[in-house]
Amino acid sequence: MTSVSNLQLNNGVLMPALGLGVFQTPPDETTGAVVEALRVGYRHIDTAAAYGNEREVGEGIRRSGIPRDQIFIETKIWINDYGFDETLHGFEKSAKKLGVEQLDLLILHQALPSAFDKTLEAYRALETLLADGKVRAIGVSNFMPQHIERLLAETDIVPAVNQIEVHPYFQQADLQRLHQRHGILTQAWSPIGGITFYRGSGKSSLEDPVILAIAQAHGKSAAQVMLRWGLQHDRSVIPKSVKPARIAENLDVFDFELTPDELAAIDGLETGVRGGPEPDFITLDNFSRPIPEA
């Protein structure tokens, strides 16, 4: 069983650097994926209210037989549940679906630029949950520099994490530098660039000649090289898969190290092309998704 290294969050909480993501994982496949991931050594599961599979994640954790205190559970509040009281209730819904009393990390899924006051109230609710011991750490996701700056100016607690799109073709270096200045951990979603081929852009990071050459030199896969690249840049990475072989492969990245030249070569693949939605396009009109009760 592979042992995963930890990252220390800005409040001292330790989080496994690599976790299993379950974005777009169908509920009927989620439990099995979580059980398999925990069996081979994962100890960090990343889900979200909007994914519609929190209940199945909780079931996978229970079936694994691994004690709760050995598993780091992360989930996200969706924009429909922004606002102070609404976000407190959003926590209750997620906790009940997951079958836990305390979450390890709770984050806001998106900034809501058209209603940022509601975003701020949602974050203040996270601060309350942290103070009450309902969560061990709080953070945000898909927040851009202007969102981070305003959040820092108008709330009390610096986010522990900002989960953002980061892969060799889209690295958001300026945002990552802002994170470093404020002690915010960068957590990469789509760390192997899945968004580049799921969305049909015609360019797959898994087939990039630079990455493939580095993979061949280490006897690893392109996906493993990209995960290692993220880890060596001190990022949290949360690859997703439901295939047992791929779940195990994605974890097998702690027995090799990329050279400074190899890291620089991958850094040089930046295209500046975002795969996910533009941040200003995130509105309740465009992305409303009511979150069911537990």
pLDDT at residue 227 is higher than 80: yes
Predicted TM-score (pTM) of this structure: 0.97
Q: What is the pLDDT of residues 157-182, one digit of tens each?
A: 999 999 999 999 999 999 999 999 99
**Residue located via tokens 């990071």:** 205
Q: What is the pLDDT of residues 52-99, one digit of tens each?
A: 999 999 999 999 999 999 999 999 999 999 999 999 999 999 999 999
> Residue 203's pLDDT is what?
79
- Beta strands 14-16; 44-46: pairing state: unpaired
Q: In the chain, pLDDT over 90 holds for what percent of residues? A: 95
Q: Any residues with CB less than 8 A from the CB of 30 and at least 6 apart, and which?
A: 22, 53, 56, 57, 60, 242
> Residue 113's pLDDT is what?
95
> Residue 202's pLDDT is what?
65
> Residue 200's pLDDT is what?
57
pLDDT band at 4 (very low <50, low <70, confident <90, very high): confident
pLDDT at residue 195 is higher than 90: no
Tokens linked to 111: 């900034």
Q: What is the pLDDT of residues 7-57, one digit of tens each?
A: 999 999 999 999 999 999 999 999 999 999 999 999 999 999 999 999 999
Which residues are the active-site residues? 51
Q: What is the pLDDT of residues 121-135, one digit of tens each?
A: 999 999 999 999 999
> Residue 228's pLDDT is what?
98
What letters, b where the CB count within 10 A reaches 16 and e where it falls short, cover 1-30?
A: eeebeebebbeebebbbbbbbbbebeeeeb
Tokens linked to 16: 């496994």
Q: Any residues with CB less than 8 A from the CB of 243 and at least 6 apart, and which?
A: none
> Residue 197's pLDDT is what?
74
Q: In this structure, are residues 43 and 4 in contact, taking their beta carbons and an 8 Å threshold?
A: yes
Q: Any residues with CB less than 8 A from the CB of 158 and at least 6 apart, and which?
A: 10, 152, 182, 183, 184
